[in-house]
């Protein structure tokens, strides 16, 4: 029987998913592959910010990129990542009010757009 993943490795995965910008990129990729300019438009993030978060997600194996001409199209690499997003929504449907009211972890402030 395979050994379950180490809790520290799981925590590292969840820390990566905890970043609102990376989550926004993953959410934008749920409906299919997209290029960086699409992700910039859909997330409201800057191009360098999107590229940096894609690099992180790519390094962790959560997204993959496919070059087509001068564009790279990104997609979620494993359907299990989509399942995590769906399960988070299901959990929040049950305990979202409690999470919202929790003072131990504050919601991040939205950055001001320049």
4-51 pLDDT tens trace? 778 989 988 998 899 999 999 999 999 999 999 999 999 999 999 999
Cβ(35)–Cβ(47) below 8 Å: no
Band the pLDDT of 108: cuts 50, 70, 90: low
- pTM of the entire predicted model: 0.83
Domain residue limits, the chain:
20-101
Average pLDDT along the chain: 91
Fold of 20-101: Arc Repressor Mutant, subunit A (1.10.10)
Question: Which tens digit of pLDDT belongs to each residue from 47-99?
Answer: 999 999 999 999 999 999 999 999 999 999 999 999 999 999 999 999 999 98
| Gap between the Cα atoms of 82 and 67, Å rounded | 22
Count of C-beta atoms within a 10 Å radius of residue 6: 9
- pLDDT of residue 111 exceeding 90, the answer is no
């Amino acid at each position: 029987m395979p050994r379950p993943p180490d809790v520290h490795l799981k925590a590292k995965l969840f820390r990566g998913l905890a970043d609102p910008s990376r989550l926004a990129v993953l959410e934008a990729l749920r409906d299919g592959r997209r290029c960086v300019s699409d992700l910039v438009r859909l997330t409201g993030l800057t191009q360098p910010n999107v590229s940096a978060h894609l690099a992180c997600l790519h390094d962790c194996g959560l997204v993959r990129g496919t070059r087509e001409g001068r564009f790279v199209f990104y997609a979620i690499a494993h359907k299990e990542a989509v399942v995590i997003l769906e399960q988070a929504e299901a959990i929040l449907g049950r305990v979202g009010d409690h999470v919202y009211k929790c003072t131990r972890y504050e919601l991040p402030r939205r950055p001001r757009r320049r």
